[in-house]
Chains A and B, each alone.
Chain A
Amino acid sequence: GENVEQHPSTLSVQEGDSAVIKCTYSDSASNYFPWYKQELGKGPQLIIDIRSNVGEKKDQRIAVTLNKTAKHFSLHITETQPEDSAVYFCAAPGGTSYGKLTFGQGTILTVHP
């Protein structure tokens, strides 16, 4: 089955700095890579996703890059704000044809004002 590794487990930045979270996956057939943001006491919220036919996708301050050869993808947040503080999860399809997701272990991002 799919295995997703996520680093770092915690990330602390100053407001205005950039933050980068990296994930690797094992199944070369995986073709969809979402990123979720989870705030305390809430369910995960999709913030951006990328499909394997593109190498990069941007949405305002958030971008995701994908390297299929190396089997890794990254989340980039620019001009971080305190409200970006949350737990971020990457995911990849779970190695079957049905679309279950295998998640990374999460990154606790703290943005200091």
Chain B
Amino acid sequence: GAGVSQSPSNKVTEKGKDVELRCDPISGHTALYWYRQSLGQGLEFLIYFQGNSAPDKSGLPSDRFSAERTGGSVSTLTIQRTQQEDSAVYLCASSFRTAPRTDTQYFGPGTRLTVL
């Protein structure tokens, strides 16, 4: 079946502009996660959705970052007034909620964001 998809695959923007990144999870997966991967670094958790609710948004780095999920499916991560330090690969993952803390997360290919 289809995996997690993300769009765009690459995004180049100017400092101060807003950007929207999209994630389509695997069909039927109720949980959705956003992570950020800076150059040569590990993955940093941003936010988690269960259905359309976000019980854990502790990883969002500032109030310029927000995310929403509609219809229990597609999610959008929005970064307002982008800064150069926002440049990174933004990864989305989804899982079929079976039990807390033990779900298998499947990742999409990521969106590479470059802020000039």
The CA-CA distance from A44 to B91 in the complex, in Å, is 9
A96 touches B56 (CB 8 A): yes
B100 touches A99 (CB 8 A): yes
Residues of A within 8 A of B101 (CB): 29-32, 93, 96-99
- Range, interface on chain A: 20 to 34
A102 touches B45 (CB 8 A): yes
The reply on B18 being an interface residue by CB < 8 A is no
- Range, interface on chain B: 20 to 34
Which of A97, A99, A105 has a CB less than 8 Å from the CB of B95?
A99
Which of A34, A100, A105 has a CB less than 8 Å from the CB of B104?
A34
Known: A49-B104, A93-B101. A104 touches B109 (CB 8 A): no
Interface string of A70-113 (1 = CB under 8 A from B): 00000000000000000001010110111111111110000000
Residues of B within 8 A of A58 (CB): none
State the 9 A-B residue pairs at the shortest beta-carbon distance, nearest first. Answer: A43-B107, A93-B101, A32-B102, A103-B43, A103-B42, A43-B109, A105-B42, A97-B100, A100-B45
Interface CB pairs A-B, < 8 A, 8? A42-B110, A43-B109, A46-B106, A91-B43, A96-B101, A98-B55, A99-B95, A105-B42
Question: A residues bordering B, Cβ < 8 Å?
Answer: 29-32, 34, 36, 42-46, 49, 51, 89, 91, 93-94, 96-106
